[in-house]
Amino acid sequence: MRSQKNFWNMKSKLESYLGFARKSGNLISGAGTCEINMAKGKVKLLIIAEDTAENSKKKLISKAELLKVPYRIYGTSEELSKMTGTAGRNVFAVTERNFAKVIEEQIGSR
């Protein structure tokens, strides 16, 4: 029971942090937009939904690794879209260092 409580608490905190990042203009979504901003050096954390198409996932991971952008594969596109208030997206990028750090801590390691 305790581990389930921790899971929901973590998910709630993550949802809050993602929401704050979005409201403050520090969260972008969409594969193309995220790729462009990675190339510009603006992305501090890339979040890819687990149900993203394999080829897209590989391309994004490769680009993130090349540009030394931390990334996490987390949740489904539906879950992430609900957390961020953006429908139909499966790739998100955090552009502010402090938000990226706390969100990365909530998601955990790869």
Q: Among 5-9, 30-34, 74-78, 90-94, where is mean pLDDT lowest?
A: 5-9
pTM over 0.85: yes
Angle, alpha carbons 11-14-20 (nearest 5°): 140
Residue range of the domain that includes 10: 2-107
Gyration radius (Cα) of the chain, Å: 13
Total number of domains constituting the chain:
1
CA distances in angstroms from 3 to 36, 83, 97, 102, listed in the order given: 38, 21, 29, 20
More confident residue, 48 or 11: 48
| CATH code for position 33 | 3.30.1330.30
Q: Where are the alpha helices (DSSP H) in 1-110?
A: 2-23, 31-39, 54-66, 77-84, 97-107
Confidence band of 3 (pLDDT split at 50, 70, 90) = low
